[in-house]
Structure 1
Amino acid sequence: MHSLSNIGDAFTLPAPAIDVETAQRLVHDHYGISGVVQRLTGERDQNFRIRSGQGHDYLLKISHPAEDRSMTEFQTQALLHIMRTDPTLPVPHVIETRDGESEKFLAIGGHAPRIVRLLSYLQGDLLPMVPRSSALRQHMAATLARLAIALRGFFHPAAGHDLPWDLKHAGDLRDLLAHIPDMRQRSLAERFLDGFEEHARPQLARLRAQVVHNDLNDYNVLVDPAHHDRVAGILDFGDMVHTALINDLAIASSYQLTDSSDPLGTVAEFVAAYHAVLPLEPMEIDVLFDLMATRLVSVVAIGGWRAQQHPENRDYILRNNAKSWARLERCGALPRAQARQTLRRACNME
């Protein structure tokens, strides 16, 4: 049984810091690349941008010492699989070392060995920085559907790992609700977890399952600076997992809710564009709204708890928290039957 009390050290303990000079030396020694190094934020990995000055930028990822080696291999092999099955998808490409390795296992600075990986650095504007449009929303949904299709035939022994962000484990979030001080917000979160237990959880084992990206939030999408209606990159494959396919769409859809008289209108448009590329099944659509709300509960519950554990990384961890509460409030104002009908209609299943 998955339990949040069993979350590994990679989530709960800070990693020994790697300085910029060390990162620069690693890239030069093992990849033959020189350039200006810039530290980036990250939840578990330590990340650095390498500007080579030759028209190519790279992303150096140094894993948490407590991260299971099979987990980083899972992510690397998934990216290599995507490069083979749909090479035009805008995802990071794996850069091999001078020795032809896709990963390097190194002891750095006298600490425990860690996995070092180098990826291509995707250029673009973060989604929150650009105006939203119908065309962009539809292209984002279509790209996510293509990504799911590209991963359809992929599996790895670590794909079934226990992940707090996997929606099938959402029932375990109840222990974290005690950390929500606002009783009205806590009640709202409990209401949607009840809905998950009643409507979604019993169905998940009957739905299509595969490896999915599992985290298409606003900060994991890059937009083409010259064409704001096109996705230029999908980032962060660190939360990949083998789970119900519809969970992937539910996560992405939860970020499409708008503060308007028709908050599900943009979600319906997003779902319809996904459905046009990767047709959904009626049972999947019928639990989509429940899973969207469950994702938002996950963000506020896990995010709030982790921010207490890691105050030094609080701003990064809570970057989606306020918006998630606002979106959860909008879901709370929608009757479930009405939401289900709206989403079925979007896929011409009414």
Structure 2
Amino acid sequence: MTRPLRSLAPDEIVELCARHFGLAVEFDSFLPGEVAINVLLHHDGSAYVLKVEYPSRTTTARHFDWVCRVQATARAAGLPVAAQLPSATPYADAESGESSGALALAPIGKDSAMVRLHEFVPGRVAAGVEPPADYPAQVGRLAAGLVSALARVPAEPEPILHAWAFETTGANVIFACDRIAALESAGQVPVEYGARLSGDLALARAHAQTFETEIRPQLTGLPHQVVHQDLNDFNILIADGAIAGVIDFNDARTAPRVAEPAVAAAYAMLSSQDPLAAIRETCTGYAEAADASGAEGAEPAAGAEGGGPAAGAEGGGPAAGATAALSAGELALVEQAAITRLCLAACTWTTRALTAPPDSFAAAFGRSRMKRAWPVIRAVLDDPAGSRRIS
């Protein structure tokens, strides 16, 4: 039986760091995390975060080592990304011999877990603070910086299509709506969720169907490249009224370039009393940063491996250059795609709230996030003209 990672004792965590990173650390505490365990540690006056998770069907060690290289490229480009400490026992791909140097495989019981050690990036997650007035614009600029930095990163070793993949956002919303409806039919939806949830799901489903018929067919022909693809308000850190860090590159993959600002705008909506204005402000910030990022065909960002553009997905649209600037066609998709992504997030959080053990972190997280997301979706889809009135 696979051992739960949260059952690791402090002395075992200290031993992991000593064996795989050659660092004598002091255990501090476990940090929140949905999949990986994140552990705050200290060494010689500096703070570090140990991240440990088991490989999965979509997150193999080979893929995760590529994620480490993506993160290193973003940091080398000057973005506020955590430095990864080199491993004393680095993983290397058996076929290519490639290695980020940052990933180790550690035995945990009868299984192996993927282990990384990062420098700690100070700041508080954006979801937990009063955001600065220009937060959506800041998020847009961050998205443009990531697109520019990652434009020439080689594609992942094998195509990855997971539950948060941008291209299948609409289909995944519809699937999630069907699952919640099945839970409701089985009497597993609390009465207090009431008829409002059914109405919210109907709004989400209808919007997702529009994504499938109007947006998805256009995606193949758009520029594709490696993107972070998860600039949500738990992956962005704020300090002194400004974005101080971006974390969690686990969902990075080759996708339509427009995914980066669209996903960023989706979660920026949660911080605003006028969600549609938040989308526009995200796009404005993105455009301003993209205009300053350099001309088409600039040299690869510092730290990028290889010189060729990333391979396209879903048939392979044209590759993006080092510029982050969106075409008019891409820009026209952002609003609808952003709202669909927020629908997917709300449906996913609702499903977790309904299916996870009631006293678990996943259930509590799901409940808090869905309560924040559904009023925004309701405002922009049920009453767009009144989107300022979030209730």
State the TM-score bracket (shorter-chain normalisation): 0.7 to 0.9
Question: Which residue of structure 2 aligns with residue 142 of structure 1?
Answer: 141
Distance 1:15-1:192 versus aligned 2 partners, 3 A rule: farther
Question: Which residue of structure 2 aligns with residue 4 of structure 1?
Answer: none
Larger RCO of the pair (alpha carbons < 8 Å, separation 6+): 2
Q: Find the partner of 1:266 among 262, 266, 278.
A: 278
* CA deviation vs aligned residue, 1:100-129 (integer Å, no higher than 9, x gap): 741111212x23111111111110122133
Tell me the TM-score normalized by structure 1. Answer: 0.83
Q: Kindly provide the amino acid, as one letter, of the partner of residue 76 in structure 1.
A: C
1:206-217 equivalences in 2 (<5 Å): 206-217=221-232
Question: Which residue of structure 2 aligns with residue 48 of structure 1?
Answer: 39
Q: Kindly provide the amino acid, as one letter, of the partner of residue 103 in structure 2.
A: E
Question: Which residue of structure 2 aligns with residue 284 of structure 1?
Answer: 330
1:120-139 equivalences in 2 (<5 Å): 120-139=119-138
> Is structure 2 residue 287 aligned with structure 1 residue 238?
no
Question: Which residue of structure 2 aligns with residue 296 of structure 1?
Answer: 342
Question: Which residue of structure 1 aligns with residue 365 of structure 2?
Answer: 316
> Is structure 2 residue 69 aligned with structure 1 residue 70?
no
1:117-266 equivalences in 2 (<5 Å): 117-158=116-157, 160-170=159-169, 171-178=171-178, 179-180=180-181, 181=184, 182-224=197-239, 227-228=240-241, 230-257=242-269, 262-266=274-278
**d(CA) in 2 for partners of 1:259 and 1:324?**
10
Unaligned runs of 5+ in 2: 91-100, 185-196, 291-324
> Is structure 2 residue 86 aligned with structure 1 residue 96?
yes
Farther-moved stretch of structure 1 (298-307 vs 116-125): 298-307
The answer to whether the 8 Å contact 2:36/2:52 transfers is yes
Tell me the TM-score normalized by structure 2. Answer: 0.75
**d(CA) in 2 for partners of 1:248 and 1:152?**
12
Q: CA deviation at 1:261?
A: 7.6
Q: CA deviation at 1:93?
A: 1.1
Farther-moved stretch of structure 1 (15-24 vs 234-243): 15-24
**d(CA) in 2 for partners of 1:137 and 1:175?**
29
Farther-moved stretch of structure 1 (260-269 vs 120-129): 260-269
**d(CA) in 1 for partners of 2:37 and 2:268?**
29
Q: CA deviation at 1:220?
A: 1.1
More helix by share: 1
Name the count of aligned residue pairs: 319
- Over the matched positions of the two proteins, sequence identity in percent amounts to 22
1:24 is paired with a residue whose SS is: helix
Distance 1:15-1:68 versus aligned 2 partners, 3 A rule: farther
1:255 is paired with a residue whose SS is: helix
Distance 1:297-1:51 versus aligned 2 partners, 3 A rule: same
Q: CA deviation at 1:316?
A: 2.9
Farther-moved stretch of structure 1 (97-106 vs 230-239): 97-106
Unaligned runs of 5+ in 1: 1-9, 340-350
**d(CA) in 2 for partners of 1:259 and 1:103?**
34
